[in-house]
Amino acid sequence: MLLFHRRFLPLALILTAPLAASAQSEREEVWIVRPGDHLTRIARENEVTVASLMRWNDLENDRIRVGQELIIRRGGALAATEQPAPPRTDGPVHKVKAGENLGRIARRYGKSLEEVLRWNPEIDPNRIRVGQAIRIPETRRRIEHTVRRGESIHEIAERYEIEAREIRLWNARATTAPLRMGETLVIFSDAPESRSESIGLPYRGSLENPVKLRPHPGFVIRDLKRAYGTEETIDWLLEAFDAVVDRHGAKPKVRVHDISNPKGGFMRGHASHQSGRDVDLSLYRKRCSGGVCPFTPVSADQLDVERQWTLLRHMLERGRVEAIFLDYSLQKPLYEEAKRRGATEAQLRQWFQYPRGPSNPHGLIRHYRNHRDHAHIRFVCPKTDKECVGR
C-alpha cells in the first residue's frame, strides 16, 4: 500500500475574507515515492496532471527517486486551476521517431517537458511509442506560406522573424529537398501579417516599411529606386508574373516602369504612385526586340492578348485590383480573349468597361488617356492597412 500523509495550508495564507471558504478547503498532501512509481502513475492515482506535479515540485524532468516527497495540491480554487489543458490543434504535431524520448522532443522545439505534458495530458512520458503524435505547445499565429519563385528558406525565415531550422522542424519535406515554387509551408510566427503600410490616397499618400521589388524572370525593372510598394503589392505582382512564366515561358519580358518611392509621396512624372499600390507595366506584344517589350504605344493587332490576359486575369480573379487603366482601343481584344478562355458574362461586366464606351464609369479595366503604351495597375488596399484610402 502506498503511504502518504496530509499537511494543511496555514490559514495565515488566506489573504481576503471572500476567499476564506474556498481557501479553507485547499490543502497540500505529501506523496512518498515507492518502488515502481512514476509521475504518470502518481498523477493518475491522484487525478491530477503530470505537468501539475512537475510545477508543484519544481521538477525539471520526469525523474523521481524512491523516498522522494512530492507535494500534491487539492481542493477549492487550486484544484480548479489544475484541470488538464484541453487538446490543442493550432501547434505543430511531432511524430515520435525511433530512439526519441519526450525530453529530447521538448528540447528540439525549445520547450520544457512540463509544457509538452500540459498540452498532452494523456501521455505517459515513460512510454511513448514510435509514430505517436505529440502536440507541441505553440502560441504563435499559424501561417500557410506559399513558396514563390526563387525564394529561399532563409528569406522566408527572415520575413517571419523566425529561424530556418524552425521551418524545417515544422515541415518535414523542407529538411530533405529544395523548396519548390507553389509549395505550402506551415509556419508559426508572432510577426505581423504585413509590416508595410499604404497611407492615404494613391495621389495624396505615403508608404511606410516598404518592400523593394526583387528580380523575376518575367520582367525587367527600369529603376530600383522607384520600385517600392506594400508587401501585398509586391507579392501579388510576383505571383501574377509567375502565372505568365508558367503558362507561356519567360520571354518576352515586360518593363516594370514605376511603383513608388521608398517613402511614397510625390513621384516625378506621376500624379499618383504615392502610396505603394500603383504599378506601371509595358504591354506584351507579338514582337519585342531583344526579348523585352518596350514602353511604346501598341495597337490592338500588335498586342499579345494571350500573355496580357494571363497576367491581368490572375489579378482580377483574386480580387486584388481596384482599377486597371488602359486605352479603350486595347480593351476589345482582351475582352474577346477573356470570353474565349471562359470568363462568364458577370465577370466580363465586372472586369471590362468595354463595350459600354470609354466614358462609362463601370468596369475595373477602364480607359485613361495616354495609356496605349502601358497598363497602370492599382491594387486594392491591404486589409491590414487601416489608413489606406481606396481610389
Cut 0.85: pTM above it: no
Domains of the chain by range and CATH? Answer: 4-81 (3.10.350.10), 93-135 (3.10.350.10), 141-189 (3.10.350.10), 197-379 (3.30.1380.10)
* Predicted pLDDT at 26: 64
* pLDDT top residue among 114 and 361: 361
Q: Are 322 and 379 in contact (CB under 8 A)?
A: yes
User: What whole-number distance in Å separates Cα of residue 390 and Cα of residue 382?
Assistant: 10
- Integer Rg of the chain from CA: 31
pLDDT exceeds 50 at position 196 = yes
The pLDDT confidence band at residue 15, using thresholds 50, 70 and 90, is very low
User: What whole-number distance in Å separates Cα of residue 66 and Cα of residue 335?
Assistant: 82
User: What whole-number distance in Å separates Cα of residue 170 and Cα of residue 168?
Assistant: 5
The pLDDT confidence band at residue 103, using thresholds 50, 70 and 90, is confident
Closest to 329 (Cα-Cα) out of 288, 291, 373, 271: 373
Please state the length of the chain: 391
158-182 pLDDT, tens per residue? Answer: 888 888 888 888 887 777 778 888 8
Mean pLDDT of 135-157: 83
User: What whole-number distance in Å separates Cα of residue 254 and Cα of residue 295?
Assistant: 8
CB atoms within 10 A of CB 53: 25
Q: Are 33 and 65 in contact (CB under 8 A)?
A: yes
Exposed, middle or buried by CB within 10 Å (0-12, 13-18, 19+), for 340? exposed
* pLDDT top residue among 372 and 23: 372
* pLDDT top residue among 171 and 238: 238
Cell digits of residue 178? 529544395
Instruction: Report the alpha-carbon angle 230-232-238, nearest 5.
Output: 105
The pLDDT confidence band at residue 25, using thresholds 50, 70 and 90, is low
291-346 pLDDT, tens per residue? Answer: 999 999 999 999 999 999 999 999 999 999 999 999 999 999 999 999 999 999 99
Closest to 292 (Cα-Cα) out of 245, 351, 252, 352: 252
User: What whole-number distance in Å separates Cα of residue 350 and Cα of residue 360?
Assistant: 12
* Predicted pLDDT at 149: 83
